[in-house]
């Protein structure tokens, strides 16, 4: 995965035109990562795509793929996404019994491990095991659909994570996902977010590449103050 410093912009291909996925990914070659939203119709009430499309995305770009698994029993499926070319595999803590064991399994394969939580899930139990993860993905919408409104109350989780990561000198990255746009990215950046997923804001824009640059500038400005 890219070592480029924050702000990291990760366009979500969930909002892309799937009939020309390669072209859409090429249009955001100035991004830092590509975000791949996998939904199983069980963990979330929506179905997106699986490992084959993830592998197709991998073949169409040199950018690292951060793969967000919104699926039940991720431990049964992570190997497929590792094989598909994921740089980081993110699973939901609500979906598996032993998140630390799963993170260790992913890391043992040489891939970064991330955890995510639904907006209603408390971050506290995971703060003490942060060193087991390369990335913490804070959901700022209910997982399942693109195009929803940003939930500003979720920034409390970002602030808590930032405190713990900085005070313990950890390298875990904080990523935020849901409703990120030019209007909302500054507040997330100011709270201490490193990486920003943006689906609709990027792929519904007339120039997705230019929108990536605009989002990055907004995030940089917010940190500069």
| Site residues, Zn ion (CB under 5 A) | 37, 68, 177
- The entry of ligand DX5, Zn ion, none near residue 160 (CB within 5 to 8 angstroms by kind) is none
14 binds ligand DX5 (CB under 6 A): yes
Q: Are strands 195-198 and 173-177 parallel, antiparallel or unpaired?
A: parallel
Collapsing DSSP states into helix, strand and coil, what is residue 182? coil
Dihedral angle computed from the Cα positions of residues 137, 143, 144 and 145, in that order, rounded to the nearest 10 degrees: -90
Of the candidate residues 61, 68, 81, 84, the single one contacting ligand DX5 (CB under 6 A):
68
Catalytic status, residue 156 = no
17-23: long-range contacts, CB 8 A cutoff, minimum separation 24: 17/203, 18/49, 21/53, 21/56, 21/57, 21/60, 22/56, 22/60
85 binds ligand DX5 (CB under 6 A): no
Structure tokens that stand for 162 in this block? 């930032």
Contact string (CB under 6 A) for ligand DX5, positions 190-219, x = contact: -------xxxxx------------------
134 binds ligand DX5 (CB under 6 A): no
Q: Which of 32, 66, 177, 194 is catalytic?
A: 177
Q: How far is CA 103 from the centre of its chain?
A: 16
**Which residue number is nearest to ligand DX5 in terms of Cβ?**
199
Contact 113, 107 (CB under 8 A): yes
Indicate the annotated binding residues for substrate.
12, 68, 144-147, 177-179, 199-200
Catalytic status, residue 37 = yes
Active site residues: 37, 177
Question: What does the binding site for ligand DX5 look like in residue numbers (CB under 6 A)?
Answer: 12, 14-15, 35, 37, 68, 70, 141, 143-144, 146-148, 177-180, 197-201
């Amino acid at each position: 995965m890219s070592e480029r410093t924050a702000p990291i912009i990760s366009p979500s291909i969930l909002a892309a035109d799937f009939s020309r996925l390669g072209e859409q990914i090429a249009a955001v070659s100035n991004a830092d990562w590509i975000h791949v939203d996998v939904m199983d119709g069980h963990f979330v009430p929506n179905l997106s795509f699986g490992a084959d499309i993830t592998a197709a995305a991998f073949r169409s770009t040199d950018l690292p793929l951060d793969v967000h698994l919104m699926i039940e029993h991720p431990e049964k499926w992570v190997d497929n996404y590792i094989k598909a070319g994921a740089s980081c595999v993110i699973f939901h803590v609500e979906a598996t019994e032993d998140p630390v064991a799963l993170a260790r399994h992913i890391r043992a394969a040489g891939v970064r491990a991330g955890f995510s939580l639904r907006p209603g899930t408390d971050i506290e139990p995971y703060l003490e095991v942060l060193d087991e993860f390369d990335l913490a993905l804070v959901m700022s919408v209910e997982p399942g659909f693109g195009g929803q409104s940003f939930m500003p109350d979720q920034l409390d989780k970002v602030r808590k994570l930032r405190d713990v990561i900085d005070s313990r000198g950890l390298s875990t990255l904080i990523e935020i996902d849901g409703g990120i746009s030019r209007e909302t990215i500054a507040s997330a950046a100011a709270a201490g977010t490193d990486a920003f997923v943006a689906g609709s804001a990027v792929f519904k824009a007339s120039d997705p590449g230019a929108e990536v640059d605009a989002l990055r500038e907004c995030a940089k400005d917010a940190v500069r103050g």
